[in-house]
Structure 1
Amino acid sequence: MAGTPSMDDCIRNCTDCHTICLETVAHCLTKGGAHAEAGHIRLLLDCVDICRTSADFMTRGSRFHHLTCGACAEICAACADDCDRMTDDSMMKRCAEMCRRCAESCRSMSSMAA
């Protein structure tokens, strides 16, 4: 299973999502107000960590990757919804789109048997 196009795509999506969410944290803290709300920042950081973890599990061929991918799909979907609340911000829109792409590929990977 390691090295299949869908897994490679998922690893890439997780890595890209990790980066964009980390950039978004910095953006939100600079912007302040609702963007810097503790719950929003915490969710972004949850997304950063689970994306990195899922990518790592898949890269090393862990038989438990379907578990981390399942959690990643849920957290990314929640993060996308949260980012969508701030409709007047292109960075938030970019983050939401990447989180949705990652959630979709992780959902697919989570259904694959180990």
Structure 2
Amino acid sequence: MSAPAVPSMDDCIRDCTDCHTICLETVAYCLGKGGAHAEAGHIRLMLDCVDICRASADFMIRGSRFHHLTCGACAEICAACADDCDRMSDDPMMRRCADMCRRCAESCRAMSRMTA
């Protein structure tokens, strides 16, 4: 049995960029839907995810020696966002967001162990 493949930096940048986009789309969706979807804490966490994904991608794109730090924070925030979106997993849009956040968290967790 072989070890799981470590994502490349390009893969991680793509995951961060995709997560940024999907979370931002989902924020707009949640605000339009209202109710539990639009709770302040949920929206705040999703916006945290949007911002850290963009920052992590930017750090990697420019070759920052500190990318492992932003990726570590990104992994934690994305995992928390996925868990929060899972509370509404009967909604396909929320399931899509949770799945993307989970994929980004895994990718960033692996990248956080690498230094430039």
Q: Would the TM-score normalized by the shorter structure come out above 0.5?
A: yes
Match of 2:41 in 1: 39
Match of 1:53 in 2: 55
Match of 1:77 in 2: 79
Greater helix share, structure number: 1
Match of 2:9 in 1: 7
Listed one character per residue, the Cα deviations across residues 24-61 of structure 1 (whole Å, up to 9, x for unaligned) are 00000000000000000000000000000000000000
In the aligned structure 1, how far is the partner of 2:13 from the partner of 2:89?
Answer: 28
Q: Can you give the 5+ residue segments of structure 2 that lack an aligned partner in the other structure?
A: 1-6
Q: How many residues align?
A: 110
Match of 1:63 in 2: 65
In the aligned structure 2, how far is the partner of 1:15 from the partner of 1:113?
Answer: 20
Q: How large is the RMSD of aligned CA atoms in angstroms?
A: 0.8
Cα offset for 1:88?
1.7
In the aligned structure 2, how far is the partner of 1:74 from the partner of 1:85?
Answer: 17
TM-score (normalizing by structure 1): 0.95
Cα offset for 1:74?
0.1
Percentage of pairs with the same residue: 88
Listed one character per residue, the Cα deviations across residues 59-108 of structure 1 (whole Å, up to 9, x for unaligned) are 00000000000000000000000000002200000000000000000000
TM-score (normalizing by structure 2): 0.93
